[in-house]
Structure 1
Amino acid sequence: MCFMLKTKDDHPPVDWQALAELIERGGLSARDHIILQKAYQNSQFAWFGYVDGKLMATAHAISDLTYSSYLSDVVVDPHYQGRGYGRQLMQTILDTLAPLGKVVIYSMPDKIEFYQNLQFHRLNSAMVYGPDNIIARLRQGNFID
Structure 2
Amino acid sequence: MTAVLAGGAGASIRYEKTSGLDPDTFIRVLESSGLAERRPADDRDRIARMLTGSNLIIVARDGGTVVGVARSVTDFAYCCYLSDLAVDRAYQGRGIGRQLIEETRRAAGPEAMCLLLSAPNAVSFYETIEMPGQPRAFMFPRER
TM-score range, shorter chain: 0.7 to 0.9
Q: Which amino acid aligns with 1:94?
A: R
Aligned CA-pair RMSD: 2.1
* 1:119 CA drift (Å): 4.0
Alignment of 1:89 with 2:100, yes or no, is yes
* 1:70 CA drift (Å): 0.4
Tell me, in whole angstroms, the C-alpha distance in 1 between the residues paired with 2:76 and 2:68. Answer: 24
2:56/2:73 contact within 8 Å kept: yes
TM-score, normalised via structure 2 length:
0.77
Tell me, in whole angstroms, the C-alpha distance in 2 between the residues paired with 1:47 and 1:87. Answer: 12
Q: In structure 1, what is the equivalent of residue 83 of structure 2?
A: 72
How far does the alpha carbon of each residue in 1:6-31 deviate from its partner, in whole angstroms, 9 at most, with x for none?
Answer: 2125x5xx442232121133122242
Alignment of 1:26 with 2:33, yes or no, is yes
Q: In structure 2, what is the equivalent of residue 141 of structure 1?
A: none
* 1:78 CA drift (Å): 0.3
Identity of aligned residues (%): 24
Moved over 6 A (4+): none
Q: In structure 2, what is the equivalent of residue 139 of structure 1?
A: none
Unaligned runs of 5+ in 2: 1-10
Q: Which amino acid aligns with 2:137?
A: A
Q: In structure 2, what is the equivalent of residue 3 of structure 1?
A: 13
* 1:47 CA drift (Å): 1.1
Unaligned runs of 5+ in 1: 134-145
Distance change >3 Å, CA 35–CA 111, structure 1 → 2: same
